[in-house]
Chain A
Amino acid sequence: MRILLAEDDRFLADGLSLVLKDGGYAVDVACTGVDAENALFETQYDLLILDIGLPKMDGIELLKRLRQRGQKLPVLILTARDRLEDRVSGLDLGANDYMTKPFQLPELEARIRALLRKEQWDNRTDVTFGPLVFNTVTRTPTIGGVSIDLSARELAILEIMIQRLGRIVNKDQITEVLSDWDTEVTFNAIGIAIHRLRKKLEPHGITIRAIRGLGYRIEEESA
């Protein structure tokens, strides 16, 4: 999951991106409205966290233009403005959620998950694949009620595979989800992560098959 954080305050932006990256998301930070818009042109983001008081182009303007262009990604407004009119106008312009600063981090994370769940999982909280149950609320995979311990990167890969069940996921798609501006994930690193993930899943009858030249697909091992 790749998130664009449009926030002009470096202090907050750095802290937030630290927390979100720790949660397994890829995060890019844009400090001005113009930077954010350019980033949205270049990259397919899964979520935009938007501050209203951005320099150069304010968040409201950015949101308006974004929706006019027909970009459908979920937008969460994160702002110090807490007047009712601000909330209403923000949501009416096409934001999906609105939080005021200062906020509780667990709540922010839950709202991000909820927005992504709606977008990516069509609001399902559990996705089942063979013995594997992936809980989209807590982002935890379990098999027979026992959770599988995965690193942030492994989790992100499993997530994208389960999202595209039955389809082949190519390396570019995985790179897009895992990378941000600070860390470009190499194909090699992806290979290593997939190798580890496979080792953790295979004892439970699930494997990730490499299809040469195309990518990867999650499959149930026929016993």
Chain B
Amino acid sequence: MVTELKKSQPNKSLRLELRRALLWPLCLLWLVSTCGAYFLAVSFANDSHDHALLNTADSVIARLRADGSRVWADIPPAAQAILRHNDRDRFYYQVISKDGVRISGDSVLPGPYPNLAAREPIFRYGTIDGEEVRVARVRAELDNYSDKIVLVQVAETLHSRQHLAHQILLSIIVPQIFLILLGGVAVYHSISRGLRLLATLEQALIERTKLDLTPLDDKEVPLEVRSLVGAINELLARLRGDLESQNRFVANAAHQFRTPLAGLKTYIYYAKRLLMGDDTGDDPEMRKKQINTVLDQIDSGTDRMTHLANKLLSLAKADHAVSNKATFEAVDLNMIVSEITAELVVEAVKKGLDLEFLCSENPALVMGNPHTLTELAENLIENAVLYTESGGRVLVSVVNTGHVLLAVQDTGPGIPTEEREQVFERFYRALGTDVPGSGLGLPIVKEIAIAHKADVIITSGPSGIGTTVAVTFPAFSENLLVERRENGWQKRREERNYHHPGD
């Protein structure tokens, strides 16, 4: 279900993500600044035109003539033409008494604003012939007038101010639009450029052969991607290590198999030549003896190859055991180790070795596969017996101190500290090939130990003589025991009980 959900979601596009994150705020900003600019433009245009309107009103006042109760504006027709018609707007004026009664001038103007006593000029909007106008009212004192005070109203249509507002607006908005577009393009390009750097990385990876595991060059990549490249390089390094050990394995395996095969072929060839016999009058008895020697050699060579094949198979089985934990059950390591030690005593006695087993006081229970654990113990003890010279001693012990420990201690030649890791590598032979052995014993041990989450540690024996291999198993969990009791443990116990009466 979860995976289905994940599948249906398309991959996030970095480009889209950046575009979304950058362009929407930019557009919003543009909208806000446009509105702001519009209001500013209108208010600037009004301010300057109101000022001009006031000036015009003053000029009208300057032209006012009074004669007792009469007031009129003495504006010559030419001046009136200039006043009334600038290129866009129509102009109106009117003189009113302080009571709001028109004395002279245009009659179409809207009635005076209340608050007739105000000394300051008053601006407002009104309409003349359905057209919106701006009206300014100014108070003037006329000496020759009986009332002394008149109010002058001037009005003009709004075309000029609208025009100015538009112009201001345009001069702000157009560059802004360009700026935003430019910003968008710049963002788009820088994203593309950033992604292009990734594309070169991609190309470098595509062009690689599967064998080229050298690290990627992290100098060309953006800083942000460097950690990704670092991670890829780490992976490559791990693969490189794996490949190297794989190559070593193949080379060593080839050597381990082909050399004895070459030996076998050589002896067979020699035997054939002996049988064909050049008639140099060799003693037939002598020749028979020679052929027998060669046959013995062939026999021992075949044994060696058989041993090698068996070890390789058990390694393959151990490999399999790592992934198969279903066969695990509670096992007393004492049983397993004592059985296998008993089997190997014969070999040890033949070699003149002292092979000894010390079991733990309490049962040493571990969760594991009894067959592979037997194999582990067998390989360890076999190795110790094989590499320890006559007169030496091999001590096998199982200890239970919460953790179960299997230790095999010998008085053999020992393994140098620097080789203690390598001996777990398949086909690595610490002692060269003079001593018989497959080079697979310790790798099998390691593989089985890994399957059981156990640690294998090689140290020198007491007082630096020989080798001690210690396998430490994880603490035995009672829960696991309970869990398995019904099937594995109980069954095994029954089997034992069943077998014992027959012994």
List the A residue with the shortest CB-CB distance to B259: A9
B260 contacts the other chain (CB 8 A)? yes
Q: Determine if B270 and A15 form an interchain contact, defined as CB atoms under 8 angstroms apart.
A: yes
Chain A, residues 63-95, CB within 8 Å of chain B (1/0): the string is 000000000000000111110000000000000
Question: In the assembly, what is the distance between CA of A50 and CA of B54, in Å?
Answer: 116
Q: Which residues of A contact B255 (CB under 8 A)?
A: 53, 79-81, 101
Question: In the assembly, what is the distance between CA of A12 and CA of B263, in Å?
Answer: 4
B interface residue count range (under 10 / 10 to 19 / 20 to 34 / 35 or more): 20 to 34
What's the nearest-Cβ distance from chain A to residue B113, in Å? 104
Q: Given that A80-B255, A101-B262, A149-B280 are known contacts, is A22 also in contact with B270, CB under 8 Å in the complex?
A: yes
Question: In the assembly, what is the distance between CA of A149 and CA of B434, in Å?
Answer: 39
Most B Cβ at <10 Å: residue of A11, A31, A79, A102: A11
Interface residue tally for chain A (C-beta within 8 Å): 30
Q: Which residues of A contact B434 (CB under 8 A)?
A: 8, 10, 31
What's the nearest-Cβ distance from chain B to residue A190, in Å? 19
Question: In the assembly, what is the distance between CA of A79 and CA of B262, in Å?
Answer: 10
Q: Determine if A82 and B254 form an interchain contact, defined as CB atoms under 8 angstroms apart.
A: yes
Q: Given that A19-B270, A101-B259, A102-B261 are known contacts, is A11 also in contact with B301, CB under 8 Å in the complex?
A: yes
Q: Which residue of B254, B260, B300 is within 8 Å of A9 (Cβ)?
A: B260
Q: Given that A19-B269, A53-B255, A80-B258 are known contacts, is A9 also in contact with B280, CB under 8 Å in the complex?
A: no
Q: Which residue of A11, A31, A56 is within 8 Å of B263 (Cβ)?
A: A11
Chain B, residues 258-276, CB within 8 Å of chain A (1/0): the string is 1111111111011001000
Q: Which residue of B252, B258, B432 is within 8 Å of A100 (Cβ)?
A: B258
Q: Determine if B300 and A11 form an interchain contact, defined as CB atoms under 8 angstroms apart.
A: yes
Question: In the assembly, what is the distance between CA of A11 and CA of B254, in Å?
Answer: 16
A151 contacts the other chain (CB 8 A)? yes
A185 contacts the other chain (CB 8 A)? no
List the A residue with the shortest CB-CB distance to B297: A15
Q: Which residues of B contact A14 (CB under 8 A)?
A: 297
Q: Determine if A18 and B304 form an interchain contact, defined as CB atoms under 8 angstroms apart.
A: no
Question: In the assembly, what is the distance between CA of A33 and CA of B434, in Å?
Answer: 14
List the A residue with the shortest CB-CB distance to B278: A149
B433 contacts the other chain (CB 8 A)? yes
Q: Which residues of B contact A53 (CB under 8 A)?
A: 251-252, 255
Question: In the assembly, what is the distance between CA of A53 and CA of B263, in Å?
Answer: 16
Chain A, residues 93-117, CB within 8 Å of chain B (1/0): the string is 0000000111111100000000000
Q: Determine if B432 and A11 form an interchain contact, defined as CB atoms under 8 angstroms apart.
A: no
Q: Which residues of B contact A16 (CB under 8 A)?
A: 263, 266
Question: In the assembly, what is the distance between CA of A103 and CA of B257, in Å?
Answer: 13
Q: Which residue of A10, A81, A82, A103 is within 8 Å of B262 (Cβ)?
A: A103
Q: B residues 278-309 with Cβ under 8 Å of A?
A: 280, 294, 297, 300-301, 304
Q: Which residues of A contact B270 (CB under 8 A)?
A: 15, 18-19, 22, 105
List the B residue with the shortest CB-CB distance to A104: B265
Q: Which residue of A8, A12, A149 is within 8 Å of B260 (Cβ)?
A: A12
What's the nearest-Cβ distance from chain B to residue A166, in Å? 31
Q: Determine if B263 and A105 form an interchain contact, defined as CB atoms under 8 angstroms apart.
A: no
Question: In the assembly, what is the distance between CA of A105 and CA of B274, in Å?
Answer: 14
List the B residue with the shortest CB-CB distance to A105: B269
Q: A residues 7-47 with Cβ under 8 Å of B?
A: 8-12, 14-16, 18-19, 22, 31-32
List the A residue with the shortest CB-CB distance to B261: A102
Q: Determine if A105 and B265 form an interchain contact, defined as CB atoms under 8 angstroms apart.
A: yes
Q: Given that A9-B260, A81-B251 are known contacts, is A19 also in contact with B432, CB under 8 Å in the complex?
A: no
Q: Determine if A10 and B433 form an interchain contact, defined as CB atoms under 8 angstroms apart.
A: yes
Q: Which residues of A contact B297 (CB under 8 A)?
A: 11, 14-15
A205 contacts the other chain (CB 8 A)? no
Q: Given that A55-B432, A103-B265 are known contacts, is A12 also in contact with B251, CB under 8 Å in the complex?
A: no
List the B residue with the shortest CB-CB distance to A12: B263
Q: Determine if A9 and B263 form an interchain contact, defined as CB atoms under 8 angstroms apart.
A: yes
Closest 10 CB pairs of A and B: A15-B266, A12-B263, A55-B432, A80-B258, A101-B258, A101-B262, A102-B262, A105-B269, A80-B255, A102-B261
Q: Which residues of A contact B (CB under 8 A)?
A: 8-12, 14-16, 18-19, 22, 31-32, 53, 55-56, 78-82, 100-106, 149, 151
